Chains A and B, each alone.
Chain A
Amino acid sequence: MPAPDPNSKPRLAAGCRWAEANGSERMLMFPEGALRLQGTGREILERCDGQRSVQQIVDEMQAQYKTGESGRIEQEVSKFLESLQQKRIVDF
């Protein structure tokens, strides 16, 4: 599967969820392991709620990190989602 379409709405795949723990780190649970997420990875993934489109996620990230050029953020989001999709953690 190629990079996500800007209009698709990514969500966590079946069998993947956030662990209840709180703090600066959040843990994403999936069948064969868990990811400790901080920073942008966490911010992108927290927006994968099946409501927001990829484009919206990019826009929101851009608004938050005003420094980044638009192309780079878009690419980063798209690469990150693609790799998680291959791991069967995100669907879009």
Chain B
Amino acid sequence: MLPNPLALITEITHRCPLHCVYCSNPLEMQKAAAELSTEEWVRVFREAGKLGVLHLHLTGGEPLARTDLTELISGARTAGLYVNLITSGIGLSEARLAALVEAGLEHIQLSFQDSREAEANEIAGTRGHAYKLQLSRLIRQFKIAFTINVVVHRQNLDHLADIITMAEELGPDRLEIANVQYYGWALRNRDLLLPTRQQVEQSQQTVAAAEERLRGRMRIDFTAPDYYARYPKACMGGWGRRLLLLDPAGQVLPCHAAGVLPGMRFDNVREHPLDWIWRESAAFQRFRGEDWMPEPCRSCERRTEDFGGCRCQAFLLTGDAAATDPVCTLAPTHGVVEQALNQISAGAVPSSIPPVPANWIYRPNPGAMSE
């Protein structure tokens, strides 16, 4: 029997004052005018609650760009959802934070780009680092759970220990160290972001030592880089198995990046109930279960654990969305990943780029574009 989805991820806007070079948002972003209204979002939250969803993750873009965020949070709490805000923090004053907490916000996840100010601002294409530090101290004064998220890559992995120390001083409940996943803008900047094998090995040791030292004080969640793994990640816990993602305009997708897949039609909450989209829509059924799987996945015993990996990565790297995820060492197309890694280890690109890498492709702000 088809299980209920556990979590709803909502990109409530694609507008964002930052321009992170690793941003996983789609290259084609939704404009402000296309965004769902407050009432539409709250209706979706109610539908999600009825469908058995437990957690709501408010993300974007920058969710703070929505002036109705407080109403969205209280609407979601009324619908029985646990509410998490994933944010860059830019746009959050003390008064606004107090209003969000009052409305029922339970967990805030604040992203940093680095522990070093100049480098952090370089990656974000915005001068936001100092404010994030200030904001962290403010967040700790509220009774909500606090996670710091740092996306790691070749440019900042060499000072991962400093990043952990920075977090330790700010005192969140958790530190999430997430290796870049190559979707959206991150894939465009892959040559500058892909870490070296040495960095990856070193970072694993750094994290293990920090976990030991900080046990009981700060929990560390580390996402390893899948390019260096033997097997792929269980992307989204399997297609259409646990999660639903809504884009700003109400399209429902099985994951963040699925919009890139050719020939797929994603239904919209403006036209269909969420329940129907989850159970019946063609997009959610397309890669659900095992019927779509090619060899070697079809007869592989890991298929119930990783579900053949990520469909979007398969498409982006091989041109075929129904291929085995090429990061899998058993995949016939694994060569494309090896090639990218060889280029890094052969020193074709310097392992740490001195002062300012000039070739970043920055993520634009679609709010600005539509004005």
Q: A30-B145, A31-B145, A31-B147 are in contact. Are A14 and B217 (CB under 8 A)?
A: no
- The answer, yes or no, to whether B341 is at the interface (CB within 8 Å) is no
| Contact indicator B80/A15 (Cβ below 8 Å) | no
- The answer, yes or no, to whether B82 is at the interface (CB within 8 Å) is yes
Residues on B with beta carbons closer than 8 Å to the beta carbon of A82:
216
Q: Tell me the minimal C-beta distance from A14 to chain B in angstroms.
A: 5
| In the complex, residue of chain B having the shortest beta-carbon distance to the beta carbon of A87 | B219
Q: Tell me the minimal C-beta distance from B114 to chain A in angstroms.
A: 23
Residues on A with beta carbons closer than 8 Å to the beta carbon of B82:
17, 19, 29, 31, 34
- The answer, yes or no, to whether B47 is at the interface (CB within 8 Å) is no
Residue-wise interface mask of B (119-163) relative to A, using a CB-CB cutoff of 8 A (1 in contact, 0 not) = 000000000000000000000000111110000000000000000
Q: A20-B80, A31-B107, A34-B54 are in contact. Are A88 and B174 (CB under 8 A)?
A: yes
| Contact indicator B174/A29 (Cβ below 8 Å) | no
Q: Tell me the minimal C-beta distance from A9 to chain B in angstroms.
A: 16
Most B C-beta atoms less than 10 A away, residue of A14, A15, A27, A82: A15
- The answer, yes or no, to whether B215 is at the interface (CB within 8 Å) is yes
Q: Chain A's interface: helix, strand, loop or mixed, by majority?
A: loop
Residues on A with beta carbons closer than 8 Å to the beta carbon of B146:
14-15
- The answer, yes or no, to whether B320 is at the interface (CB within 8 Å) is no
A86 to B82, CA, bound (A): 21
Cβ 8 A contact of B106, one of A2, A15, A33, A85:
A15
| Contact indicator A17/B219 (Cβ below 8 Å) | no
A-side interface size class: 20 to 34
Number of A-B residue pairs having CB atoms within 8 Å of each other in the complex? 56
- The answer, yes or no, to whether A13 is at the interface (CB within 8 Å) is yes
| Contact indicator A14/B144 (Cβ below 8 Å) | yes
Residues on B with beta carbons closer than 8 Å to the beta carbon of A20:
80
Q: Tell me the minimal C-beta distance from A88 to chain B in angstroms.
A: 4
A32 to B178, CA, bound (A): 15
Q: Tell me the minimal C-beta distance from A1 to chain B in angstroms.
A: 3
A17 to B83, CA, bound (A): 12
Q: A14-B173, A31-B174, A34-B54 are in contact. Are A88 and B106 (CB under 8 A)?
A: no
Q: A29-B54, A31-B84 are in contact. Are A13 and B145 (CB under 8 A)?
A: yes
Scan residues 23-60 of chain B and give those whose CB is less than 8 A from a CB of chain A: 54-55
| In the complex, residue of chain B having the shortest beta-carbon distance to the beta carbon of A30 | B145
Residues on B with beta carbons closer than 8 Å to the beta carbon of A87:
219
| In the complex, residue of chain B having the shortest beta-carbon distance to the beta carbon of A85 | B216
A27 to B84, CA, bound (A): 17
Scan residues 266-288 of chain B and give those whose CB is less than 8 A from a CB of chain A: none
A20 to B144, CA, bound (A): 19
A residues lining the B interface (CB < 8 Å): 1-2, 13-17, 19-20, 27, 29-34, 82, 85-88
9 closest A-B pairs by CB: A15-B145, A1-B216, A31-B107, A88-B173, A15-B107, A29-B82, A31-B145, A14-B143, A15-B106
B residues lining the A interface (CB < 8 Å): 6, 54-55, 80, 82, 84, 106-107, 109, 143-147, 173-174, 215-217, 219, 221
A-B contact pairs, 9 of them (CB 8 A): A14-B143, A14-B173, A15-B106, A19-B54, A19-B82, A27-B54, A31-B84, A31-B109, A88-B174
Contacts A17-B82, A34-B82, A88-B145 supplied; 14 other A-B pairs, CB < 8 Å: A14-B146, A14-B173, A15-B144, A15-B173, A19-B80, A19-B82, A27-B54, A29-B55, A31-B173, A32-B221, A86-B219, A87-B219, A88-B173, A88-B219
